Amino acid sequence: MKRTEMVTRSTLVVASMVAVLAGPMDALAQVPPPEPETLSKLYRGTTYSPYAGRGFPSQVFWGDTHLHTDMSMDAGAFGNRLGIDDAYRFARGEEVTSSTGLPVRLSRPLDFLVVADHSDNMGFFPDMFAGKPHIMGDSTGKSWYNRIQAGEGVGVALELIGMFSQGEFPRP
């Protein structure tokens, strides 16, 4: 290594250390950039960077990071009748039948989907809608079932969420 290269490298190292020790980032801005000739001697590869000046994402992904299926008590209580299989089919761009009975399909499939069902009372609503014996055998469960069948789903949902939040949800 030539003496001029050693002096240039040493100068850069010392200048950088002084700038860092002297203060915050504005001190770094005061250090002059090395001369192009110096850089070309130190680095012989291509000096092109595809990321320089890029102020926008180069790859955008579309998706949903928090979806509840009918397995979550809150989603089921407020009328979601779609299960996990339908959720993933819908995300892939396939046609599914919505909770209201209409055929639906995304105009563009999602790149990702996160099913984030709650573990508490998981599967309660599918069981209740199916009229499972462990729900219908309880007077409160039977009342909820009948009220939802009569179109009082929102009232039942609010009651269920209130009871659960207070630790009063009936045990099976």
pLDDT at 8 over 50: no
pLDDT level of residue 57 (50, 70, 90 thresholds): confident
pLDDT level of residue 172 (50, 70, 90 thresholds): low
- Which among 169, 63, 162, 170 has a CA at the least distance from the CA of 116? 63
pLDDT of residue 20: 45
Q: What pTM was estimated for this model as a whole?
A: 0.59
Mean pLDDT, rounded, for 57-67: 89
CB of 63 closer than 8 Å to CB of 43: no
- Which among 165, 168, 166, 143 has a CA at the least distance from the CA of 156? 143
pLDDT of residue 18: 44
**Interval 76-130: pLDDT, tens:** 888 888 999 999 999 999 999 999 999 999 999 999 999 999 888 888 888 988 9
pLDDT of residue 37: 65
**Interval 11-40: pLDDT, tens:** 444 444 444 444 454 444 555 666 666 666
Tallying the residues shown for the chain, one arrives at 172
Rounded to whole angstroms, how far apart are CA atoms 3 and 9? 10
CB of 100 closer than 8 Å to CB of 93: no
Phi then psi dihedrals of residue 57, to 5 deg: -65, 145
pLDDT level of residue 161 (50, 70, 90 thresholds): confident
Rounded to whole angstroms, how far apart are CA atoms 142 and 11? 83
